[in-house]
Amino acid sequence: MSIKVLIADDHQIMREGLRALLEKEIDIQVLGEAEDGRMIQRMARELLPDVIIMDVAMPDLNGIEATRQIVAALPGVKIIALSMHDDRRFVLNMLKAGAAGYLLKDCAFKDLAKAIRVVMSHKTFLSPEVADIVVKDYLSTTQHTESSAFNLLSPREREVLQLLAEGKTSALIGESLHISIKTVETHRQQIMVKLKIRSVAELTKYAIREGLTSA
């Protein structure tokens, strides 16, 4: 039986390249491609893949938040992060969100193919560079995560924060999340209070630093 795979990346050439390579594997079937986190959410619910290859930095809804929501709704789906980012926050937040693997985009294709088969056997697959980050974090005695957006903010607040950082107006955010403008403004105030930040410019810098957006 083929392993059913979805690809999520905001760069078309990346999606097309991955699809072409994956379709050469006799035990892998590519069901489709998505260009952002919201699209991959919808496709996951509709197509029920076995594995999702997930970029981390995507517009509208980042890969970390998309992973968290997909894993919560479809716990049987395995998600492998494929990212250019080897920053500690990106890696750890993606794994905490429920990703079963994390590889860097400069990896060999054979490693990605292996990762797909490894996570299907209910194991975790990390590229060597990423494994080093995880080990160092485990050995670290710092309490870094206490100030992370993934500890301080609710899932909805993180979504609003990403969209604010991407320059969306309250009206557009409300339309995207199906909530009122007043509710968006309330979330923005709560975010600023929780993070002790006073301007949208500072919020944008914070969101980029936390890996919520690359805008």
Six-digit token pair at 16? Answer: 């097309």
Whole-number average pLDDT of the chain: 91
The span from the first CA to the last CA of the chain, in angstroms, equals: 40
Catalogue all structural domains in the chain, each as residue range(s) with its CATH number. Answer: 3-139 (3.40.50.2300), 144-210 (1.10.10.10)
CA distance 64 to 204: 17
Strand (E) or helix (H) holding 7: strand 3-8
Verdict on whether the full-model pTM lies above 0.85: no
Measure CA 29 to chain center: 22
Q: What's the pLDDT tens digit per position in 5-31?
A: 999 999 999 999 999 999 999 999 999
For residues 36 and 65, is the Cβ–Cβ distance under 8 A? no
Local structure of 154: helix, strand or coil: coil
CA distance 207 to 62: 11
CA distance 23 to 15: 12
Q: What's the pLDDT tens digit per position in 180-215?
A: 999 999 999 999 999 989 888 899 988 888 888 876
